[in-house]
Amino acid sequence: MQSREFKVNSAGINLAVKTWGNDNDTPILALHGWQDNAATFDRLIPQIPDYYWIVPDLPGHGLSEHRGKGAEYTIWSYCAEIIALADQLGLEKFILLGHSMGGGISNLLAAVFSERIEKLILLDVIGTITTPANNSLEQLSMGLKHRTRQALRKPGVYSSLDEAINARARKGVTVEAAALLGVRGIAQSEAGFYWQHDQRLTQKNLLSMCDEQLRPFLRAITCPVLLITSTQAVQREDAIKLRVAEIKNIHVENLSGGHHQHLDGDVDTIAGLVRTFLK
């Protein structure tokens, strides 16, 4: 499978989009995780042919535009941009695949636009990050103080490409996986090499949903769902079980591996599970 690249303005922001396959085939919109980019699926997608894969760099990530001054990176703002992208490409119905934050976005989209989502594939995430309602005051207070009292951090600058790759690898992926992400994620200036995602992504969320707010979104998902979790999942096992119980038509597979197992783990097994589910 050969990949292609283009840029499109979606909800007022320019997105870099990577595609695989034939645009006459069933479309699958794939969304990457926080501080990753479209390259996170470069090992998985070639093993799942016969579909039209559409993989954007989310705003503030990879080769896509950063949001304007004063904007926030809330999960619901991503939802607006992704459904606008689907509209731009004429996707009346499509399949969603999401990893981590991209899975959270996909969860919300599958609930709100249930008539358009044919299937949902979640990689090591179900639902979104939540905060107990009683902690909302503290969360907003911390988020606002973080923005007013602390200068936005500058990206780390490295003397070589290898140093930049190794810095990402130390955050939980293999060097090979970090190098793949670096193709779209690393830029070079006179000072050296740096990861070019928007540094505002590191700011604390001002507010998150609580579990009670998330529950109706899980219940509203009507399409078949495949959830592939890992033994090193970022979500607690008890929380995963409670959320799984809210979705009507869901199949769960738990694999031994890390949070990026679709990129640096048993990709063959994951691809096989996805192919079976799609058929």
Domains of the chain and any CATH numbers = 3-135+207-278 (3.40.50.1820)
Is residue 89 scored above 90 in pLDDT? yes
Phi, psi of 271 (to 5 degrees): -60, -40
Of 75, 61, 73, which is closest to residue 108 (Cα–Cα)?
Answer: 75
pLDDT of residue 150: 66
The mean pLDDT value for 83-97 works out to 97
Is residue 186 scored above 90 in pLDDT? yes
Tell me the residue length of the chain.
279
Catalytic residues: 100
pLDDT of residue 130: 94
Please name the amino acid found at residue 175.
V
Q: Supply 279's token pair.
A: 């058929």
| Angstrom distance (rounded) from CA 4 to CA 21 | 9
Q: Sorting pLDDT into bands at 50, 70 and 90, what band is 168?
A: very high
Give 204's strand partners: none
DSSP secondary structure, 68-82, as one string: PTT----HHHHHHHH
Please name the amino acid found at residue 248.
K
Q: What is the pLDDT of residues 136-148, one digit of tens each?
A: 999 999 999 988 8
Q: Cα torsion at 259, 264, 270, 272 (round to 10°)? A: 180
Q: What is the DSSP letter of 40?
A: G
- For 24, counting Cβ atoms within 10 Å of its Cβ (0-12 exposed, 13-18 middle, 19+ buried), the class is exposed
| Angstrom distance (rounded) from CA 148 to CA 175 | 36
| Angstrom distance (rounded) from CA 134 to CA 196 | 36
Q: What is the pLDDT of residues 42-72, one digit of tens each?
A: 999 999 999 999 999 999 999 999 999 889 9
Determine contact, residues 43/262, Cβ cutoff 8 Å.
Answer: yes
Give 120's strand partners: 96, 225
Q: What is the DSSP letter of 216?
A: H
Number of CB atoms found within 10 A of residue 29's CB = 25
pLDDT of residue 152: 74
Q: What is the pLDDT of residues 102-155, one digit of tens each?
A: 999 999 999 999 999 999 999 999 999 999 999 999 999 999 998 887 677 788
- For 77, counting Cβ atoms within 10 Å of its Cβ (0-12 exposed, 13-18 middle, 19+ buried), the class is middle
Determine contact, residues 19/3, Cβ cutoff 8 Å.
Answer: yes
- Of residues 106 and 256, more confidence is placed in 106
| Angstrom distance (rounded) from CA 185 to CA 176 | 14
Number of CB atoms found within 10 A of residue 248's CB = 12
